[in-house]
Chain A
Amino acid sequence: MPAAPPATEQLNLRVSEGQTPSAPFESWGRYPTYGATVIPLHWQNDFSAIAPSLLNGALPVGMGRSYGDACLLKDGNLLVTTGMNRLITFDPETGLLTAEAGITLAQILDFAVPRGFFLPVSPGTKYVTLGGAIANDIHGKNHHMAGTFGCHVTQFELVRSDGTRKLCSPMENPDWYAATIGGLGLTGFISWATLRLKPIVSRLIDYEGIQFHGIDEFLALTDESKDVEYTVSWVDVTSTGKNFARGIFMQGDHSAKRDTLLPSPKPKLVFPFDAPGFALNRLSVSLFNAAFFHKQFSKHSVAVQDYEPFFYPLDKVLHWNRMYGKRGLLQFQYVIPWEHAKEGTVAILHEVAKSGLASFLAVLKAFGDVPSPGMMSFPKPGITLALDFPIKQDRTFPLVHRLADMVYEFGGRLYPAKDAAMTAMQYQAFYPQWQQFARYRDPLLTSSFWERVTGETSGI
């Protein structure tokens, strides 16, 4: 082994010798962008084999669909898992699927849907990996019924950089199970996991869309649709006055009518280039929002549609994030507990509207009270809102910091998977259990997010 470089060098250069030079790796928000050494992993044992040579810090990453820096490690080693996408076993009786952690939800759907099974929880894109879904303990439109993704992960293998392997389940190593679900990739490398799929008889979704005006109407609709499996709302964050907090409440159930379960067609549209900065201004966003609102012509509409457009409307345009240009976007997602959910949401929507900083897609949903198994999981009962802001010098960050402070005052917290801006103080206030969690961290693994919000640095 070569002699350790001087301490100053260690700080600046985490790249180990003999590896490919640093290449830019973008997360979905395209902000920030850091150089990193990208190391593809193809087999379950690759991590154990290379860990000893990665002296200066590493992070497993999946599809890089986190928005900010939770899937980045500046000048470090990014272990890309997407080559580890094999199935291991599937039991059609129980719906238990065991697969390598780099498999994507899209690949799982391609396998499962024709066999009459579906994901127990799905995010707004199917291009995320099983490992990434566990590490962020993602949530979907059925959170009020199904809880988070982690609720359906019955076991997984965690490989530590010292070569030890732990089988984790609610029964075995339950503390490691809890730390790793929502553990931001920091507790070890997930090599494979078992997920409980749920049976369906059709690809179709019985869909209903309802216009609402204001948070009261949103809450009333939420209440009425408690027994509908999937609910989510789109809200217009650009309008004020009588249109303030208008939106569309969307709900659906898997169709019970036996129907075709054919595989999905491949996506075709690709957003081909970086949009110039001027394409995304207040006017275009308002126009987009108005068009979206009025696409829902009547106050109420009913349809039967394929699960693809229902769950993944944005996946039809691969790389739609390029719409925001090279500077990228900031995402911001909070949850505020019921106690202050309404006043908090109204206050935040006012602040956003007043700022005039556009947001294309604002997604509003009520989280239910199914507890997450994860120690650091983001969801809790209350209202969640996800917003995105194009990055504009001097304006976006102050607004986002202001909003984060408001979220804290209302007793809520922010979602690390969608963050590139919260301060260390804010994070530590949102997740006071972070120090307890930090004891489970693998000494080799760290992320730019973790270093930013804790001040801890990496490396062994």
Chain B
Amino acid sequence: MTDRQNSTTPRKILVLGATSGIAEATCRIWAAQGASFFLVARNAEKLAAVAADLKTRGASFVDTAIADLDDTDKHPALLAHAINSLTGMDVAYLAHGILGDQTHAEQDFNTAAQIIHTNFMAPVSLVTWLANFCVQRRSGTIAVLSSVAGDRGRKSNYVYGSSKAGLSAFLDGLRNRVDREGVKVVTIKPGPVRTAMTAGMPKSEKFADVDAVAEAIVKAVAKGKDTVYVPFQWRGIMFVVRHIPERVFKKLNL
């Protein structure tokens, strides 16, 4: 390994929502590079499976904690414990989130509020603590999974979309605040990703491959990019979608 690679290979990574498919694929690449992990997720069995996988693939250290990240009161203690266990932190990777039930959320504010809490409020809490920790140290990268769905609300998933829109805007502002302090904020906007769910369906070939998405994320984090679309083609697609005039857009079935 060359020095240059060494300097951009994250060593100590905190992963929130470590059992999400995209997070797992990303962590496999980091594990093969020998990274250390602190993994957080809700389900103990799934978390143990992910931890064993990363360890087998070459992670130099893996510690875990079971936590429901909706519980924002517990965030400070959880993060302190994680950073202690890792003896520092180079990258915090936020990958938890829920799609939620849009139809239900249209009728019931509590369902909508739950989606917004998990996808917006909880990350805001985590990122606030993490950013302040990084600013103190004048180093670190905070990488957050947002979504192309946040770029424009659509009738099929505007509750999820708006939670991600809020998150993206929050990260824009945070980046503006901490960039001069040596802290990187990377907003990741994936499009639809192929998973086992679409296996065997002809049209799933059009979805992005999760490993390719993971590779793009690893690169973006290494370079400390600002906002990345994965795969990158989504930047162009969302440019067009954002610029469809509202009088046309509101008539579309999207």
A interface residues with partner B (beta carbon < 8 Å) = 23-26, 38, 40-45, 64, 78, 80-83, 86-90, 100, 102, 111
Contacts and interface: CB of A to CB of B under 8 A. Distances in A.
A61 to B, nearest CB: 8
A209 B195 CA distance: 41
Contacts of A43: 45-46, 49
A159 to B, nearest CB: 14
B245 interface: no
A82 B53 contact: no
B52 A89 contact: yes
Contact of A38 (B21, B49, B57, B201): B201
5 cross-chain pairs, A with B, having the tightest CB-CB distances, nearest first: A83-B196, A40-B196, A86-B53, A87-B56, A25-B200
Given A43-B45, A45-B45, A88 B53 contact: yes
A341 B198 CA distance: 44
A251 B116 CA distance: 61
B144 interface: no
Contacts of B195: 40, 83
A105 to B, nearest CB: 16
A127 to B, nearest CB: 12
B13 interface: no
B54 to A, nearest CB: 9
Interface string B190-215: 00000111111110000000000000
Contacts of B46: 43
A87 B57 contact: yes
Interface in B45-104: 45-46, 49-50, 52-53, 56-57
B200 A80 contact: yes
B183 to A, nearest CB: 33
B175 to A, nearest CB: 33
Interface string B112-126: 000000000000000
Nearest to A20: B197
Contact of A111 (B45, B57, B202): B57
A40 B52 CA distance: 22
A26 B202 CA distance: 9
B49 A86 contact: yes
A83 B50 CA distance: 12
Contact of B200 (A26, A42, A45, A102): A26
Contacts of A83: 21, 195-197
Nearest to A98: B56
